Amino acid sequence: MIEAIWNNLTDPALFATVLRVMTPLLLAALGVLISDRAGVLNIGMEGMMLSGALVGVLASAWTGIPFVGLLAAIACGALLGALMAGAINGLGTHFIITGIALNLAAASATTLGLYLATGDKGMSGALQSGVLPSLHIPLVRDMPILGPMLSGHHMLTYAAILSVPVVSIMLARTPFGLHIRAVGADAKAAATAGVSRNRTQLYALMLSGVFGGAAGAYLSMGYVSWFAQNMTAGRGFIAIAAEVMGMGTAWGTFAAAAVLGIAETTAITMQALGLPNELMQMIPYIVPVIVLTVYAARRQAKARAHS
């Protein structure tokens, strides 16, 4: 049994599986990261992903072009981000409650939208929607060993991984990133320096929505071509956990998403070996709790040592 698990875990195809599983987590977690650094942790990520997943399928089915679906999903995420920012800074609602409300609204609205478009509340099987392509990189794909590892993954997988340095540099080295960090650290001080909290948080949440919409599109158009009710199944929440595990940096978030991707892949592998699949499904939800608790305990120990 142990040997069988080991053999499965050292299988080269596993690398591809980890990438496949971690892509939506990474995209969503980067979105959460941007919002968190701006001081408005995006609890509504789950709802953004779910909405993006549906809108992507609908747009792709209506136009027949998967890329239009992706763009529509991204636009939908950005719009929801703008709405969140409007509620938080315009109406003055608490950002956590705003996120919860978005999740509730998205769960209802996607079911409603699916029903209006297809007459079915469960699945979008009746719609002819497309699948976003995988990329085969010329030259690289012919390289021995590295070729199959680097080439042939999903376009959004590449996009997600490339986003890590982009977001990292954006946060650390651009004026916009500085505004985000300033507003997140101390909105009043930022205002004194002429940085508008409202505008910065609006852009941050819209950008967060762009990532959320793309993550949603990956779920409904990445490898499958359908939308199902509540198909995100808590991935938005895992993404929040991944961002917190990543300690506020893009590379940390990447590492956390990779750890959770490996955890989920292990779970899938062990299910295939006949271990109870419900117990295996728990793994990606328990790992973040353990990691966050260990972090917190270490932080506490450090604080004690200093005092």
Note whether 176 binds other proteins by CB under 8 A: no
Q: Is 289 in the site for other proteins (CB under 8 A)?
A: yes
Tell me the per-residue interface mask from 246 to 275 with other proteins, x by CB under 8 A, - otherwise.
------------------------------
Q: Is residue 111 a contact point for other proteins (CB under 8 A)?
A: yes
Note whether 30 and 164 are within 8 A (CB). yes
Rule CB under 8 A: say whether 295 interacts with other proteins.
Answer: yes
| Distance between CA atoms of residues 57 and 160, nearest Å | 20
Residue 133 interacts with other proteins (CB under 8 A)?
no
Listed in sequence order, the residues at least 6 apart from 143 whose beta carbon sits closer than 8 Å to its beta carbon are 150
Within 220-249, the residues that bind other proteins by CB under 8 A are 230, 233-234, 237-238, 240-241, 244
Long-range residue pairs from 89-97, CB within 8 A, at least 24 positions apart, any chain: 89/197, 89/198, 89/201, 89/202, 95/40, 95/41, 95/43, 96/41, 96/43
Q: Is 102 in the site for other proteins (CB under 8 A)?
A: yes
Phi, psi of 273 (to 5 degrees): -90, 5
Q: Which of 4, 112, 143, 272 binds other proteins (CB under 8 A)?
A: 112
- Angle at 41 (CA atoms; ends 38, 46), nearest 5 degrees: 135
Residue ranges in 33-72 that form contacts with other proteins under rule CB under 8 A: 43
Instruction: Kindly state whether residue 302 participates in binding other proteins, applying the rule CB under 8 A.
Output: no
# binding residues, other proteins (CB under 8 A): 48
Distance CA 51, CA 46 (A): 9
Q: Which of residues 73-92 bind other proteins (CB under 8 A)?
A: 87, 90-92
Enumerate helices (H) and strands (E) in the chain, giving the number of each: 13, 0
Residue 244 beta carbon to other proteins: minimum distance, rounded to whole angstroms:
5
CB-CB contact of 266 with 9 (8 Å): yes
Q: Which residues contribute to the site for other proteins (CB under 8 A)?
A: 43, 87, 90-94, 96-98, 100-105, 107-109, 111-112, 115-116, 121, 230, 233-234, 237-238, 240-241, 244, 276, 278-279, 281-282, 285-286, 288-289, 292-293, 295-297, 299-300
